[in-house]
């Protein structure tokens, strides 16, 4: 008889599935934990982004500084990202995520005290510490792929981002219920954020991601930061993520101020932001599949086109319908652009390089997001003297960002495959 050659899978015990299945089962468990974290703990971000600018406006002596607290959240995230990445590389994802919820709770507590004392400085200090949570949340998408197979990676990242769908519903509703629940406006919101962080931290006890191997110097440890930043694919991924997130922040930071400033209510502002956040995360159920089918470059390009449509809709009028459509397009465009950029980055480096490049990526991304959020408040409150003129200035400011990302993507696509 002819003997059939054995295959690697035939040497496994009968009851043991192939390694790829084992890996993806573990990955699916981690994805489930991260989806719940994104859904529950992540609700605090929409709560703060809806009311942070309005609270800042009530505390600041100069209306042009109204969105500075939100800018400090993003700045805190930017300055936290490099060392948070190193903490996770050395001690594991769970440790970093616990630190994130701790920072979120402490930041909300200080911001709450600032509201009680009517202190803009205290409120800004709390906002800066909230950035620690925002930074940690940004690593959920990378943690999702740590134990995933190559084929499951885009879907794992997309599913985790889809967890924001629940936070998109929960956060704005909590904001509406808690904003005026106590005699001090917005105090109830920040006390609720403390509880969300304390309770939500327990989710990370169920995370099963092994600590990375210790970093080694030399070729075995991967490329240096400078070498990685010279990679066209990594560079374009960073630019695309930076532009997608910056434009989302630029518009969303000013949207509540524009909506209320043009005669609508806080409830209308919360509903528009809720629709926006839903649009940010609903596409995540299929973004990963689209990336796998059409390629990440086409998905990023689609996202940039949709972001341009958001700006055009914002410029066409200040009716409530315009706000809804513009912010929905903004959410979808962010989803395609940012998840596409994150997926491109995740596929452009080795596991040994993740601790270096992921932190640098988020530092650059949130550095530009910080600038966008600061500019948003200045443009909104200090351009032309009316809410309509300010909103038009914010929308027009999208043009250079879109030009940068579109040009970078075209440059990458036109390069020979071996030079990407």
Residue 188 vs residue 347, higher pLDDT: 188
| Contact between residue 166 and residue 40 where contact means Cβ atoms under 8 Å apart | yes
In a domain, 69, yes or no: yes
Long-range contacts of 257-261 (CB under 8 A, 24+ apart): 257/53, 257/54, 257/57, 257/66, 257/67, 257/377, 257/380, 257/381, 257/387, 257/390, 258/318, 258/323, 258/380, 258/387, 258/390, 258/391, 258/394, 259/320, 259/323, 260/54, 261/386, 261/387, 261/390
Domain range for 136 is 23-209+223-419
Mean pLDDT on 245-261: 90
pLDDT for the residue numbered 6:
41
Residue 18: is its pLDDT beyond 80? no
Of the chain, the percentage scoring pLDDT greater than 70 comes to: 91
61 belongs to a structural domain: yes
The Cα 384–Cα 389 span in angstroms is 5
Which structure tokens are listed for 388? Answer: 């309509």
Does 12 map to a domain?
Answer: no
CB neighbours of 76 closer than 8 A, spacing ≥ 6? 107, 127, 128, 129, 130, 131, 132, 134, 135
Tell me the average pLDDT of the chain: 86
Picking from 27-36, 207-216, 385-394, which range would have the lowest pLDDT averaged per residue? 207-216
pLDDT category at 14 given cuts 50, 70, 90 is: very low
Express each pLDDT in 327-371 by its tens digit.
999 999 999 999 899 889 888 877 777 767 877 888 888 888 888
18 part of a folded domain:
no
pLDDT of 270 reads: 80
Q: What is the mean pLDDT of residues 96-105?
A: 96
Distances (CA, A) of 347 to 142, 288, 342, 413: 11, 13, 9, 16
What pLDDT is stored for residue 200 in this prediction?
95
The residue whose two tokens read 């909103």 is: 391
Beta carbons of 112 and 187 less than 8 angstroms apart: yes
Q: Read off the CATH number of the domain in which 370 is found.
A: 1.20.1250.20
CB 104 within 8 A of CB 82: no
Is residue 17 included in any domain, yes or no? no
Q: Band of the pLDDT at 267, cuts 50, 70, 90?
A: confident
Is residue 301 in some structural domain?
A: yes
> Is 414 part of a structural domain of the chain?
yes
Residue 103 pLDDT level (bands cut at 50, 70, 90): very high
pLDDT category at 420 given cuts 50, 70, 90 is: low
- Percent of the chain, pLDDT > 90? 46
Query: Are the C-beta atoms of residues 29 and 208 closer than 8 Å to each other?
Result: yes
Decide if 382 is inside a domain. yes
Looking at the structure of the chain, the number of domains it has is 1
Residue 217's pLDDT is 56
Would you call 1 exposed, middle or buried from its count of C-beta atoms within 10 A (0-12, 13-18, 19+)?
exposed
Average pLDDT, integer, range 375-400: 87
For residues 80-97, give the mean pLDDT: 89
The pLDDT of residue 220 is 58
């Amino acid at each position: 008889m002819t003997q059939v050659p054995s295959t690697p899978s035939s040497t496994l015990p009968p009851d043991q599935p192939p390694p790829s299945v084992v890996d993806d089962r573990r990955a699916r468990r981690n994805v489930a934990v991260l989806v719940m974290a994104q859904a529950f703990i992540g609700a605090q971000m929409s709560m703060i982004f809806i009311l942070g600018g309005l609270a800042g406006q009530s505390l600041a002596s100069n209306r042009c500084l109204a969105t500075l607290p939100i800018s400090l959240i993003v700045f805190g995230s930017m300055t936290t990202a490099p060392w948070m990445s190193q903490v996770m590389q050395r001690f594991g994802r769970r440790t970093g995520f616990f630190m994130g919820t701790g920072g979120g709770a402490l930041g909300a507590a200080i911001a709450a005290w600032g509201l009680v004392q009517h202190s803009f400085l205290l409120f800004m200090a709390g906002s800066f510490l909230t950035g620690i949570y925002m930074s940690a949340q940004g690593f959920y998408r990378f943690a999702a792929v740590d134990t995933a197979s190559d084929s499951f990676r885009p879907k794992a990242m997309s599913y985790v981002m889809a967890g924001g769908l629940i936070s998109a519903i929960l956060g704005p509703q909590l904001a509406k219920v808690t904003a005026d629940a106590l005699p001090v406006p917005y105090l109830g919101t920040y006390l609720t954020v403390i509880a969300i962080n304390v309770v939500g931290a327990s989710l990370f006890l169920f995370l099963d991601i092994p600590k990375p191997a210790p970093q080694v110097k030399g070729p075995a440890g991967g490329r240096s930061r400078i070498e990685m930043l010279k990679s066209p694919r990594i560079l374009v991924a960073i630019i695309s993520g930076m532009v997608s997130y910056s434009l989302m922040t630029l518009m969303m930071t000013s949207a509540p101020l524009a909506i209320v400033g043009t005669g609508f209510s806080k409830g209308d502002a919360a509903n528009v932001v809720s629709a926006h956040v839903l649009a940010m995360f609903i596409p995540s159920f299929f973004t990963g599949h689209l990336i796998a089918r059409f390629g990440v470059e086409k998905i990023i390009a689609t996202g940039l086109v949709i972001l341009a449509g958001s700006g055009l809709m914002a410029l066409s009028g200040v009716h409530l319908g315009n706000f809804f459509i513009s912010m929905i397009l903004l959410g979808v465009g962010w989803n395609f652009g940012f998840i596409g950029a994150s997926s491109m980055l995740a596929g452009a480096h080795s596991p040994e390089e993740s601790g270096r490049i992921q932190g640098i990526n988020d530092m650059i991304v949130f550095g530009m997001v910080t600038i966008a959020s600061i500019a948003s408040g200045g443009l909104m409150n200090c351009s032309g003297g009316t809410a309509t003129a300010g909103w038009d200035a914010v929308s027009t400011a999208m043009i250079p960002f879109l030009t940068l990302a579109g040009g970078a993507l075209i440059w990458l696509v036109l390069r020979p495959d071996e030079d990407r």
